[in-house]
Copies of this chain bind each other. A is one copy, B any other.
Amino acid sequence: MDKIRFEKGWSKLMEVDGEGGQRVIDSLKDIAPDLGKYVVEFAFGDIYNREGLDLKQRQLVTITALTVLGGCEPQLKVHLQAGLNVGLTKNEVVEAIMHCAPYAGFPRVLNAIFTAKEIFKVE
């Protein structure tokens, strides 16, 4: 059953994060493989697979969370691309990040915008 949970998580990870997500899991293999397993099972198998919000809404929440936390540029890169993957426009992503300014301040927002600039360029 946990195999089913992992597989459900993996196929959601592929749908949302694609190649960027796979690279994170792969890079954990030699140091903390179970951490990769938990990311797949819990974040994607349990949470992303839930009903109640569609993937575009979930991606807005993830991008906001990573912007506000700060210091999550590697994860933000994966999830900015994921935003586009699930159908958010670049403009919607930029708007969501800018919307954080009154709540988390300009520095966190500027860092996320410059990360988006980097990702949207290479797309």
Contacts and interface: CB of A to CB of B under 8 A. Distances in A.
Contacts of A1: 1-2
Interface in A60-116: 60-62, 64-72, 74-75, 91-92, 94-111, 113-114, 116
A113 B60 contact: no
- Give the number of copies in the complex: 6
Q: Number of contact residues on A: which range applies?
A: 35 or more
Contacts of A15: none
User: Would you call the interface of chain A mostly helix, strand, loop, or mixed?
Assistant: helix
A114 B27 contact: yes
A82 to B, nearest CB: 13
B113 A43 contact: no
